[in-house]
Amino acid sequence: MSYQIPQLHGNDLELTLEIKNSRFIANLRHTAGRGECNIHLSDMRKKYPDASHHCWAVVAAAPQDSTYYGLSDAGEPSGTAGKPMLQVLSHCGLGEVSVVVCRYFGGTKLGTGGLVKAYSDAVKLVVEACPRQTKRLFSHIKLSCPYDLSGRIEHLCQKHEAVIDERIYTNNLTLMLVIPTENVAALELDLGPLPFANILLKDTVL
C-alpha cells in the first residue's frame, strides 16, 4: 500500500481565510493516528484560546480507511463545519492529516450555507498549499527454499521489487526479504507452495 502524506518536516501549515470580517484560521498537521490529532486540537486551543470555535477533521491513516476519520463542529450548527471539512479532507488524496479551523466571529452571521462554504474553502486553501510525499508500507519476509531454486527465487524477487536483506545457509537457503506490501500477494502466488514465515509490517517513507 502506498499513499500521500504531508511533507512538513514536523511543522504545521497555517493559512487564513477572511469572510465578512470573520477569520477562519486553517492549521494542517501530519498526524499518524487519532492520538496525534487530539494533540493537534489541544495545541490550537492553546494557540488561539479566544477563538469562537475550534472545528476539526482528521484522516488519521490511509485516505481510503474511513475507520480513522473524525470530525467536530465544535459548537457551530450541526453539519456546517466538521462534515464539510472532512468531505474535503477525505477526497484530497492525503492520509495521516488533520486540519483544525479556528474561527473568529466578525459580527455578521453567514448562515448555514455560508458556514459550509467557509469551512470547506478554508480546508481547500491549506490542503492545496500542502507539499506531499509518498508513504509505502513494506513487509519483512523470511523465505526458505531448496538451493536449486535460488535462481528462480532471485528472479521473482527482482520482478516484485523484493530486496534480499540477508542470506542464511543451512540445509535449505533462507532469505530475509524486504518487499512493498502491495507486492506480497503476487510474490506468494508466483512462489507457489514455498513457505512464508514471520511477516512483519514496517512503515517507510520514500
The CATH code of the domain that includes 147 is 3.30.70.240
Domain of residue 17 covers 2-130
Quick one: 108 and 151 in the same domain?
no
pTM reported for the whole predicted model: 0.79
Quick one: 11 and 87 in the same domain?
yes
Domain count, the chain: 2
In this prediction, what percent of the chain has a pLDDT beyond 70? 95
**pLDDT digit string, tens, across residues 102-130:** 999 999 999 999 999 999 999 999 999 99
**pLDDT digit string, tens, across residues 71-106:** 999 999 999 999 999 999 999 999 999 999 999 999
Quick one: 17 and 104 in the same domain?
yes
- Is residue 168 predicted with pLDDT exceeding 80? yes
Quick one: 112 and 166 in the same domain?
no
pLDDT band at 198 (very low <50, low <70, confident <90, very high): low
Quick one: 49 and 73 in the same domain?
yes
pLDDT band at 136 (very low <50, low <70, confident <90, very high): confident
pLDDT band at 199 (very low <50, low <70, confident <90, very high): low
Q: Which of 92, 114, 130 is the last residue of a domain?
A: 130
Strands of the chain (E only): list them.
Answer: 2-6, 13-19, 22-30, 53-59, 69-72, 97-104, 132-145, 163-169, 173-180, 196-205
Quick one: 171 and 194 in the same domain?
yes
